[in-house]
Structure 1
Amino acid sequence: MLIVSLVASVVALALGCLGLLGFCVWLLRQQRRQAEEQAKRDAVRDRRIKDLVQQLDVYAEGSARMGDRLEELARLVAPLPDKLVQLEQRDPNNFSFSQAAKLVGMGASVDDLTHSCGLSQSEAELMSKLHKARKP
């Protein structure tokens, strides 16, 4: 009887160990499956990060080029007020461009500007177009 109970205990212990081994195998498979899924999610995330970095590089490069262009335009525009003063003062007997602009505002024609202000035909046309465009 003692032997039967001992054999039954050993069999029960062996079945328990097999059950525990089966559970460990199941847990190992679950862990591997989750690791594979995580690796896929990581790959997607890494591709997305790479795409975003490339977009950011493109935007940064565009911004830098735009900044360079703005600096170039600022350099080109900076001397214009002085040049305008020089143009206005080039012949003291003639009206200045600002006075010609006032005449255009009062309705003077291109011919009026060429005769009264001493402007060339093209200068008078330019003044007329510029100042008429500013009127609402």
Structure 2
Amino acid sequence: MLEIALIVLALVCVALAGACFRLAGKQREYARQALLQAERDAGRDQRIKELSKRLDAYLTGSIRMGEELHELRRIVAPLPDKLTQMEQRDPSSLSFTQAARLVGLGASVDDLTQSCGLSRAEAELVSKLHQSKR
């Protein structure tokens, strides 16, 4: 009877040893999977950081462009009023009105300075203002 108990005990020990080896193998597999997951997580985190930096650069560029656009609008906004004032400054001269018509017909800045007696800056202003309306 003692021999049977020892045999049963030996079989239980062998079964427990087999279970321990199987569990140790699973534990090694889980550790390997955890290491692989940590590597994937590190790669993902690095890509997120890179994308964040690129997004910051794009946002900074957009903000600068918006500020410059705002500044340009501020500079250009009074130009039509200035042109109107220039046209009204000398009622006997219709050179600005004539220049505007010539720009509408495709005249160049040089044509405006020669035919209307405008300075180059005035001719460029009239040309730019009336070309934008076309």
Q: Are the counterparts in 2 of residues 100 and 127 from structure 1 also a CA contact under 8 Å?
A: no
List gaps (5 residues or longer) in structure 2. Answer: none
Q: Kindly, what percent of the aligned residue pairs are identical?
A: 39
List gaps (5 residues or longer) in structure 1. Answer: none
**1:32-71 counterparts in 2 under 5 A?**
32-71=31-70
Aligned residues: 127
Look up the match of 2:26: 27
In structure 2, give the amino acid aligned to 1:120: L
Q: Are the counterparts in 1 of residues 100 and 126 from structure 2 also a CA contact under 8 Å?
A: yes
Can you list the C-alpha shifts for 1:63-105, whole angstroms capped at 9, x where unaligned? 1101100110010011111101011112111014133332563
Look up the match of 1:120: 118
- Extract structure 1 runs of 4+ deviating beyond 3 A: 109-112, 120-131
State the distance in 1 between where 2:120 and 2:28 align. Answer: 86
Of the two structures, which has the highest relative contact order with CA contacts closer than 8 Å and spacing of 6 or more? 2
The Cα shift of 1:122 comes to 3.3
The Cα shift of 1:26 comes to 0.5
Output the TM-score relative to the length of structure 2.
Answer: 0.80
